[in-house]
Amino acid sequence: MSSRDYRKAKADCVVLETGWLVREYYLLYKEPSEYNEIGCIYFDIPTTPKAQWVKCCQGLLCLISIRNNIIKLDRDDYLIYDIWIYNPSIRKIKALPSVTVTYRPPSDAFVVNQFGFGISSDMTWKVVMLLEFCSIDDGSTTHQMTLVYSQVGGDSWSLRQINSVTPRRDLESESNDFYLKGRYYWRVDRFCVEPYNRFLIWFDMNDEVFGRIRLPDMNISSVSIMNETIAVVGYSSWRDFSCIEIWLMIENDNSTYWHKQASINTDNESWIPIGIWNVVGELLVSLEEKVEWDSDNSDRDHAKRGVPYFMSLDLVTQERKKFSISKKRKSISSIRNCDIYARVYDESLHFL
């Protein structure tokens, strides 16, 4: 991607993540023209090895990988994370000192982890690491810990373990997570958790404590940001997919409640809401073109497959713009024979 492409994107831009096993990233933005066409540029993130987690805060990307891509941790192994900070506006990347977790489980274990990236009110950048060690023998939790990796000035970073802990397995494996106003949020959607089986867990970058917010009782597809507050996007029930609803979180006098902001008719098409991606309030959805079956061929493996697309819907004007993604082109192109998973990193990237 050229610097010219970056300049085109300007400030109203988000990172789009696609793919299940192999992740790819794109910059999604409005073309600077009177028609406000959507541009979608392939985003080649420069890390070696390839980043396993990408987090975003105020225009910076935090890229995280487990050393040697460890899935199972032996008793004699140390868990090591490699971390980079990438500024796409100037195309500069900086490797941070690697993080070595000194805890070693009493027996062979799996490690489940989740991360957050943000900045405190005193302008200290922090990476929060939620770790849970699970016994390979029976899957039981043997140890939970929260680590805070924070900048202490210049190129120096410190690693601390804090007492505040939340179970990593409470969080979605591919959760909606984002930074907003000094807190990092992860979505929880667990039917077995009572009384709040749908909620957000947050970590305060200043006080370094966890909290939770109950989510609306609906079929939630995504949680993102709209008008500087949290927006929940989904369907009104588990059975009715004809209407997408958007609810905004309202905070008043230390209380929190939800207000239904919009309802959108899907025209009985298969829309999968991804999130609010544009600062003026546009909903991003994925959809698949209807499949045309070959009546002369009973083998469905040889039938025509649908083509997945994305669509941006202006919540005010109801204008719809359909597009697809490609490494070679900035906008319209088809994608075949692949599974689409996508989410929007809701912090707008800062461009020069």
pLDDT digits (tens, 9 = 90+) for 250-273: 988 778 899 999 998 887 677 888
**Domain membership flag for residue 153:** yes
- At 2 the pLDDT is 46
Higher pLDDT, 294 or 17: 17
Half-sphere exposure of 24 (CA within 13 A, CB side): 14
CA distance 211 to 241: 31
Asked if residue 340 has pLDDT above 80, the reply is no
- At 96 the pLDDT is 95
Task: Read off the pLDDT of each residue in 112-124 and give the average, rounded to a whole number.
Answer: 93
Higher pLDDT, 104 or 168: 104
- Per the prediction, the chain carries an average pLDDT of 80
Please report the beta strands in 120-228, taking only residues with DSSP state E, as ranges in sequence order: 125-135, 141-153, 156-162, 177-180, 183-189, 198-204, 210-214, 219-226
**Domain membership flag for residue 350:** no
Q: How confident is the model at residue 191 (pLDDT cuts 50, 70, 90)?
A: low
Asked if residue 4 has pLDDT above 60, the reply is no
Specify the amino acid at residue 71: I
Check which CATH number belongs to the domain holding 130 and give it.
2.120.10
**Domain membership flag for residue 352:** no
**Domain membership flag for residue 351:** no
pLDDT digits (tens, 9 = 90+) for 77-94: 889 999 999 988 788 899
Nearest to 127 by CA among 137, 139, 114: 114
DSSP-H helix ranges across the chain: 3-9
pLDDT digits (tens, 9 = 90+) for 142-163: 788 999 999 997 789 999 999 9
**Domain membership flag for residue 83:** yes
β-pair partners for 287 = 271, 309
Instruction: Report how many domains make up the chain.
Output: 1
Q: How confident is the model at residue 203 (pLDDT cuts 50, 70, 90)?
A: very high
Give residue 169's region: left, alpha or beta (phi > 0; psi -120 to 50). alpha
**Domain membership flag for residue 122:** yes
**Domain membership flag for residue 334:** yes
Asked if residue 247 has pLDDT above 90, the reply is yes
Higher pLDDT, 134 or 158: 158
pLDDT digits (tens, 9 = 90+) for 54-77: 999 988 999 999 987 767 788 778
Q: Which range is least confidently modeled, 71-75, 105-109, 116-120?
A: 71-75
**Domain membership flag for residue 312:** yes
- At 63 the pLDDT is 95
Q: Which range is least confidently modeled, 49-58, 193-202, 265-274, 333-342?
A: 333-342
Q: How confident is the model at residue 27 (pLDDT cuts 50, 70, 90)?
A: confident
Asked if residue 333 has pLDDT above 50, the reply is no
Task: Read off the pLDDT of each residue in 157-173 and give the average, rounded to a whole number.
Answer: 78
- Percent of the chain scoring above 70 in pLDDT: 79
- At 160 the pLDDT is 95
- At 76 the pLDDT is 75
Query: What pTM was computed for the model?
Result: 0.86
User: Could you list the residue range(s) of the whole structural domain that residue 338 is in?
Assistant: 3-345
Q: What angle do CA 115, 117, 118 make, to 5 degrees?
A: 150
Radius of gyration of the chain (CA): 21
